[in-house]
Amino acid sequence: MPRYCRSGSECLPERIQSGPAGKLRAAAAALYESGPSAEQLAILGLTAADLSGDDVEVWPCNWSAFLLFNRMSTQWRVGTGGPIGLDYNCIRDVAGFLGIKKKKLAEIFPDLQVLESEALRVMAEEREYSP
């Protein structure tokens, strides 16, 4: 059964999870959002150095899923409209390289799908608004 954190050290099964939502989504968005272009910043008289990067905290119980998702970043299946999802054929191999056992992989797979869906949303949004 997937586990979700309610605090930095306490994890509860999914059905009784009641902590703040969106930690995994925020982590995926931070990986895939490009932010404003140099041109957009110049219009405002800013540079990239002027922006403060907001750190996104990944809770310990989500770290394995986040690490696996990050390492899977070269494994997107792409259609004519852009990425459509991760290539699950290689997920066991990548997880194995990271030392993630089969049982743990089964537990974190739903979290991986949350990360994937948010990354797809961010990438689609950026395609929609790109010139």
Would 22 be classed as within a structural domain?
Answer: no
Would 93 be classed as within a structural domain?
Answer: yes
CA distance 121 to 28: 10
Top-confidence residue, 114 or 12:
114
Would 115 be classed as within a structural domain?
Answer: yes
Would 5 be classed as within a structural domain?
Answer: no
Residue 112 backbone zone (phi > 0: left; psi -120 to 50: alpha; other: beta):
alpha
CA 4 to chain centre: 15
CA distance 125 to 26: 15
Dihedral of the alpha carbons of 104, 105, 110, 112, in degrees to the nearest 10: 120
Would 48 be classed as within a structural domain?
Answer: yes
Domain range for 89: 27-129
Tell me whether strands 11-13 and 3-5 are parallel, antiparallel or unpaired: antiparallel
Would 14 be classed as within a structural domain?
Answer: no
pLDDT tens track for 12-41: 454 444 445 588 898 898 888 877 778 888
Tally of domains in the chain:
1
Task: Indicate if the pLDDT at residue 125 is higher than 50.
Answer: yes
Would 6 be classed as within a structural domain?
Answer: no
Cα angle for residues 43, 45, 49 (degrees, 5° grid): 115
User: Of the candidates 18, 4, 9, 31, which has an alpha carbon nearest to the alpha carbon of residue 108?
Assistant: 4
pLDDT tens track for 60-97: 989 999 999 999 999 999 999 899 999 999 999 999 99
3-state secondary structure 78-101: EECCEEEEECHHHHHHHHHHCCCC
